[in-house]
Structure 1
Amino acid sequence: MTMATSQDQPGRRSRPCPQGAPAAGGNEPAPTPGPAQKQTRLHLLALNPTDSVTHGFLPAAAALGLAVTLLTDQPDAHRSAYAKGASLPEADVVGCDVRDFREVISRIGRLGRPGAVFTNSDHLQVQAALAADYFGLPGKDWKAAHRAKDKAQLRRSLAAAGADTVRSAELGPCDDPAGPEILGLPFPCVLKPREGVASEDVVLVGDPGELAARCREIRARRPGAALVVEEYLDGPLHTLETLGDGHVLHTLGTFRTGLSPLPYFVEERLTLLPGPPRPHAADALRQLRALGVGFGACHTEYVAQGDRARIVEVNYRAIGDQCDLALADALGIPLFAHILRTHLGERLPGHLGGRADGRARVEYVCADRGGTLTRAPSASETERDGVRLVYRPLRGTGEAHPLHRTNRDYLGVIRATGTDEGRIGRAVEEFLAAQRWEITP
Structure 2
Amino acid sequence: MRLYLLALNPTDSVTEGFLPAAARLGLDVTVLTDQPDAHRAAYPDLEVLECDVRDFRAVVTRISTHHRPDAVFTNSDHLQTQAALAAAYFGLPGKDWRATLRCKDKAEMRRRLAAADVDTVWSTELTEPAALDAPYPCVIKPREGVASEDVVLVDNAEDLVTRSKEIFERRPGTVLVVEEYLPGELYTLETLGDGRTRHVLGGFHTELSPPPYFIEETLTFVPAHPEPVVEQVLAQLDALGVGFGACHTEFVVHEGRARIIEVNYRAIGDQCDLLLARLLKIPLFEHILRTHLGEPLPADLGARQDGAARLEYPCAERPGILTEAPAATELSVDGVHLTYRPLRAVGERHELYGTNRDYLGVLRATGTDQPTVDRVSADFLAGLRWEIQP
- The TM-score, its normalising length taken from structure 1, stands at 0.87
Residue 62 (structure 2) aligns with: 107
Give 1:202's aligned amino acid: V
- The 8 Å contact of residues 4 and 30 in structure 2, kept in 1 or not, is answered as yes
Residue 419 (structure 1) aligns with: 368
Mapping for residues 331-370 of structure 1, pairs under 5 Å: 331-370=280-319
- The TM-score, its normalising length taken from structure 2, stands at 0.99
User: Which SS does the other structure have where 1:187 is aligned?
Assistant: coil
Once the 2 structures are TM-superposed, how far is the Cα of residue 81 of structure 1 from its aligned partner? Answer: 2.3
Question: What's the C-alpha RMSD, in Å, of the aligned pairs?
Answer: 0.9
Once the 2 structures are TM-superposed, how far is the Cα of residue 278 of structure 1 from its aligned partner? Answer: 3.0
Select the structure with the greater relative contact order (CA < 8 A; seq sep ≥ 6): 1
Instruction: For 1:277 and 1:414, locate their aligned partners in 2 and report how far apart those are by CA, in whole Å.
Output: 27
Once the 2 structures are TM-superposed, how far is the Cα of residue 321 of structure 1 from its aligned partner? Answer: 0.2
Residue 53 (structure 2) aligns with: 98
Residue 322 (structure 1) aligns with: 271
Residue 142 (structure 2) aligns with: 193
User: What are the ranges of 5 or more consecutive residues in structure 1 without an aligned counterpart?
Assistant: 1-39, 84-89
Give the length in aligned residue pairs: 390
User: Which SS does the other structure have where 1:138 is aligned?
Assistant: coil
Give 1:315's aligned amino acid: N
Once the 2 structures are TM-superposed, how far is the Cα of residue 360 of structure 1 from its aligned partner? Answer: 1.2
Residue 399 (structure 1) aligns with: 348
Q: 1:90-118, CA deviations, whole angstroms, 9 ceiling, x for partnerless residues?
A: 42111111000000000011112111000
Mapping for residues 110-125 of structure 1, pairs under 5 Å: 110-125=65-80
User: Which SS does the other structure have where 1:111 is aligned?
Assistant: coil
Pick the aligned partner of 2:169 from 220, 237, 246.
Answer: 220
User: What are the ranges of 5 or more consecutive residues in structure 2 without an aligned counterpart?
Assistant: none
Give 2:305's aligned amino acid: A
Give 1:45's aligned amino acid: L
Residue 189 (structure 2) aligns with: 240
Matched, 1:155 2:104: no
Matched, 1:210 2:171: no
Give 2:54's aligned amino acid: R
Once the 2 structures are TM-superposed, how far is the Cα of residue 319 of structure 1 from its aligned partner? Answer: 0.2
- The 8 Å contact of residues 113 and 135 in structure 1, kept in 2 or not, is answered as no
Q: 1:148-207, CA deviations, whole angstroms, 9 ceiling, x for partnerless residues?
A: 000000000000000100111111x24x522xxx43x21110001000000000000010
Once the 2 structures are TM-superposed, how far is the Cα of residue 395 of structure 1 from its aligned partner? Answer: 0.5
Give 1:167's aligned amino acid: W
User: Which SS does the other structure have where 2:84 is aligned?
Assistant: helix
Residue 282 (structure 1) aligns with: 231
Residue 9 (structure 2) aligns with: 48
- The 8 Å contact of residues 188 and 207 in structure 1, kept in 2 or not, is answered as yes
Pick the aligned partner of 1:252 from 194, 197, 201.
Answer: 201
Residue 127 (structure 1) aligns with: 82
Q: 1:307-339, CA deviations, whole angstroms, 9 ceiling, x for partnerless residues?
A: 211100000000000000011111000000000
Instruction: For 2:247 and 2:228, locate their aligned partners in 1 and report how far apart those are by CA, in whole Å.
Output: 19
Once the 2 structures are TM-superposed, how far is the Cα of residue 280 of structure 1 from its aligned partner? Answer: 1.1
Once the 2 structures are TM-superposed, how far is the Cα of residue 273 of structure 1 from its aligned partner? Answer: 1.2
Once the 2 structures are TM-superposed, how far is the Cα of residue 234 of structure 1 from its aligned partner? Answer: 1.0
Q: 1:117-142, CA deviations, whole angstroms, 9 ceiling, x for partnerless residues?
A: 00000000000000000000000000
Pick the aligned partner of 2:96 from 131, 138, 141.
Answer: 141
Instruction: For 1:384 and 1:428, locate their aligned partners in 2 and report how far apart those are by CA, in whole Å.
Output: 9
User: Which SS does the other structure have where 1:198 is aligned?
Assistant: coil
Instruction: Name the % identity.
Output: 67
Once the 2 structures are TM-superposed, how far is the Cα of residue 367 of structure 1 from its aligned partner? Answer: 0.4
